[in-house]
Amino acid sequence: MHGELGTFLRSRRERLSPADAGLPVTGRRRTPGLRREELALLAGISATWLTYLEQGRDVRPSGQVLDALAGALRLTGAEKEHLHRLAGGASPSEEDVPEEVAPEVAEVPALLGANPAYVTGICYDVLAHNAAAAELFGGIGPGHNVVRWTFTEPAAREVLLDWEREARTILARLRAIAGRHPGHPRVTRLVAELTEASPEVREWWPQYDIQFSQAGHKRIRHPRLGVLTVPHTAFHVAERPEQTLVVYHLPGA
């Protein structure tokens, strides 16, 4: 990926004019955009280090260097994330910052009417939901976490009739996420919190069960409709594959 990183950096450097970067324009320029020396000055790194990066050499820049380059190049959020991924590090969305959901994605659960639906982030934080999901899952919404709800809220054992099976399944999915994103601060913190709070997590987490599928049927106890067996499925957001829309199909909805 190092060659691709160099290509990306050069393309963004060449499209940024000195005026856009707040630099004085002096004389004619033989190359478009910023010179390497100018970008290095703006980012606070050495021109030699920037040359190594653009040449695709086998070097690993720190997150601070990547963030400085992203700022100097005026990268968008998506471009900054792409830069981090090309460099083989954690993307900004994986850092210890709140995860955001695009407005057009956040509006989707409401379109599903009486079918409970919600959007989760990388470690099952709820980013958007509809009223039907709040009703079924006891007021769950933004600021809540589906795995935490499953293991720490007494209501989960009332709603999920096959609680142990469902709890083992979602913990196995979290285990798969932890493997794909080693050292992710929010995933690491969630696992530590659950391990302290739940004897089941303390027993099951070392077993290293892995689960990827997010579709199937669940037996639930609905507060108005009683005991139901409902199909559910999940869809990944194209631009943010770690964000997932989960939909439950209630009978008659």
pLDDT digits (tens, 9 = 90+) for 115-126: 999 999 989 999
Quick: pLDDT tens for 135-179: 999 878 888 999 999 999 999 999 999 999 999 999 999 988 887
Q: What is the CATH number of the domain that holds 47?
A: 1.10.260.40
Task: Look up residue 86 and give its two tokens.
Answer: 């090309």
- Of 166, 150, 164, nearest to 214 by C-alpha is 166
Clarify whether residues 240 and 167 are in a common domain: yes
Residues 6+ apart with CB under 8 A from 196: none
Give mean pLDDT, residues 67-92.
78
Which pTM does this prediction carry?
0.66
Claim to verify: residue 28 and residue 107 sit in the same structural domain: no
Which residue range forms the structural domain that includes residue 65? Answer: 2-94
Alpha-carbon torsion 94, 98, 101, 103, what sign?
negative
Q: Which residues of 190-213 are buried (b: 16+ CB within 10 A; e: fewer)?
A: bbebbeeebebbeebbeeeeeeee
Same-domain pairing of 239 and 158: yes
Contacts of 138 (CB under 8 A, 6+ apart): 149, 153, 155, 159
